[in-house]
Structure 1
Amino acid sequence: MKQQPWIGFLLASTATAMWGALPIALQQVLQGMDAQTIVWFRFFVAGVGLLLILSAMGALPKLVGLHRRFWWLLLVAVIGLAMNFWLYNVALQYIPPTTSQVLSPLSSFIMLFVGVLLFKEKIGLHQKISVVILFIGLVFFFNNRVTDFVQFSHYGQGVIIAILASIIWIAYGISQKMLLIKLSSQQILLLIYIGCSVAFFPLAQVGQVMELTAFQLGCLIFCCANTLIAYGCYAEALNRWEVSKVSAMMTQIPIFTIIFSEILTALWPRYFIDPSLNALSYVGAVLVVCGALLSVIGHKIFPQWRK
């Protein structure tokens, strides 16, 4: 497809903004619905929506003749993404959305080292520097939370759960990378969404949706639509803009979450909780984003750092 930078930028910005707003909306829904039910609703809506889209495009996956190894990899991907979604939702019961998003780049960095071990990929100097910047940023961000970790408070527990969510996402990431040999990313996602929906259905209490307030129901609808719209915009942005630039936009998700949190807290303090960040925490958040950004586009800025 012909490169259309402005459209690609708008699509990538939409995906980034939606993912930045997602944990804020999820936290509202968690006040009236348990984590596994929310996860089921999200996977079910995303699965049905993607099924209709691929059907209309005539691009449904052809599953005849696939090797047994494919199905084992698919099972690992389903378990990985399902547990990632569930743990992420559970973590939001203990920590603010800003904290969950600042921790989110850990998945990419862990994936980086796994790529070295499993796929013999090389780490450039810019990526090594970015890891250092990331951890310095995390230390700064949690500067006023030392007591929470020492006493293993609810906040500390939430951070650990969020880190576990990032770690287990690796199982999904690796499996999807290997599954791409047989199917497209959207076809794989369809199978994963269906698998996750089936896995969570026995645990979901669908009737809880009737107990939500109008505001919480609106947030749930947004969360369900978020998966389809954000991933759709992301995929289309990759078709219309350079991959490195789209990836660079994705690193800004924590910044969007912080901005949205501050605005919503100021406008509707009744519903939204102040993230309670001090100046050093903001510096830490910026460093985390800079570390993630350097990891993605550092090879373009400093080509001599490729090795």
Structure 2
Amino acid sequence: MQNHSKGIMYASITAFFWGFLAIALKVAVREVDPVTVVWFRFLFAFVILAIWEVSNNPGTFKILIKPPLLLVFAAIALTWNYTGYMMGIHHTTPSNAQLFIQTGPLLLATAGFVLFKEKVKPKQIIGFAVAIVGFSFFYSDQLDAFFESKGSYKLGILLTVSGAIAWSVYAILQKKLVVNHSANSLNLFLFGLPVIILAPFIHLEPLFQLNFNWWLLLAFLGANTVIAYTCLAKALKYTEANKVSIIIILNPMITFITMGILTWLNVDWITHERFSLITVLGVVLVFAGAILVAKKTKKA
């Protein structure tokens, strides 16, 4: 498989897992406080990745002893990304959090053109334009809800946006670091440092009171971290940042479709969403734009 195809595949896996993430997080905070959920995700991801690397490549642990300074900054940014997003979801709905967290991939796409000097074809410019129009339709209902909201709801949006900005900082640094370091070695540090940073702020008592189903949910959140961020690092290694961004931006589609099904089923364990035909039109346009951006240009 060519590097471009690998990059698109890995980015697609990340988008798929992130599509269910906001819903799972919204449910998790019913029993565990947001910071503890974030801490557990990092801890689970670090332990699983460490076990894998002990068996396959023990040399990756060297980076924990003397990490690059950029990696330290990336880990701090990722810590706030997780925390801001988690607290944002706590105060708002999964779909609205998914809307505003996309600020991060958009900033990464901009960095791809400005910082990494990635070339853009006319077809890609058209693709971005189509996707932006699609998002304006897709998010119209959610934006109306935002402007009609007050207090805690808007606080959740602001926290989510701050997390998105932090994610773009992490991703830009990751794009630079992955040139000289393996994805797994970087992720060992990126998962490990937040465990230490967040340790003073967690509450472990609720974890010991959870039943098996809640532990399964937490395990899914931890596994989501390992799989999504491992694939993201590989995607940034194999293809351009702007293409990775447009693929990742597709993940809210999964969230909205799932929330639409849950709303239609009228479940009582999560806040319902509102959708319209304009939302569906937006989905079609966004997918069309993403295909134009991500499709590889044939060489002469």
**TM-score, normalised via structure 1 length:** 0.78
- Structure 1: which amino acid aligns with 2:136? V
Match status 1:101 vs 2:103? no
**Does the CA contact (< 8 Å) of 2:105 and 2:249 recur in 1?**
no
Matched, 1:257 2:255: yes
Unaligned runs of 5+ in 2: none
Partner of 2:70: 73
What is the percentage of aligned positions where both structures have the same residue? Answer: 27
Look up the SS of the partner of 2:274 in the other structure: coil
Counterpart contact for 1:87–1:162, Cα < 8 Å: yes
State the partner residue of 1:88: 85
Q: Is the 8 A contact 1:93 1:158 kept in 2?
A: yes
Residue of structure 2 equivalent to 1:276: 274
Amino acid corresponding to residue 300 of structure 1 in structure 2: T
Q: Given that residues 98 and 257 in structure 1 are in contact (C-alpha distance below 8 angstroms), is that contact kept between their aligned partners in structure 2?
A: yes
Taking the aligned partners of 2:64 and 2:204, their CA distance within structure 1 comes to: 33
Q: C-alpha deviations, 1:36-81, integer Å up to 9, x for none? A: 1111000011011101101100243234996xxx632011101111
Instruction: Indicate the larger mover: 215-224 or 167-176.
Output: 215-224
AA paired with 1:121? E
- Structure 1 gaps of 5+ residues are none
1:23 Cα shift? 1.3
Residues 132 and 236 of structure 1: CA distance in aligned 2, closer, same or farther (over 3 Å): closer
Post-superposition Cα deviations, 1:142-171, rounded to whole Å, max 9, x if no partner, equal: 434436326655444433332322221111
- Report the AA paired with residue 228 of structure 1: V
Find the aligned partners of 1:190 and 1:272 in 2 and give their Cα distance: 33
Whether 2:27 is the aligned partner of 1:28: answer yes
- Other-structure match for 1:122: 119
Q: 1:217 to 1:152 in 2, by over 3 A?
A: same
Structure 1 residues 46 and 59, CA gap change in structure 2 (3 angstroms): same
Q: Alpha-carbon deviation of 1:94?
A: 3.1
Kindly provide the CA deviation profile for residues 57-109 of structure 1, in whole angstroms up to 9, marking residues without a partner as x. Answer: 0243234996xxx6320111011111111111112123332333344443232
8 Å contact kept, 1:28–1:216: no
Q: Contact 1:130–1:295 (CA<8 Å) still a contact in 2?
A: yes
Asked whether the equivalents of residues 183 and 230 of structure 2 are also in contact (C-alpha less than 8 Å), the reply is no
Q: Deviations over 1:13-41 (max 9, x none)?
A: 76544322121111101112221111100
Alignment of 1:158-197 (within 5 A): 158-197=156-195
Deviates more, 1:207-216 or 1:91-100: 207-216
Confirm or deny: 8 A CA contact 1:142 1:281 kept in the other structure.
yes
SS at match of 2:297: helix
Report the residue type matching 1:52 in the other structure.
Answer: I
Letter in 2 for 1:271: W
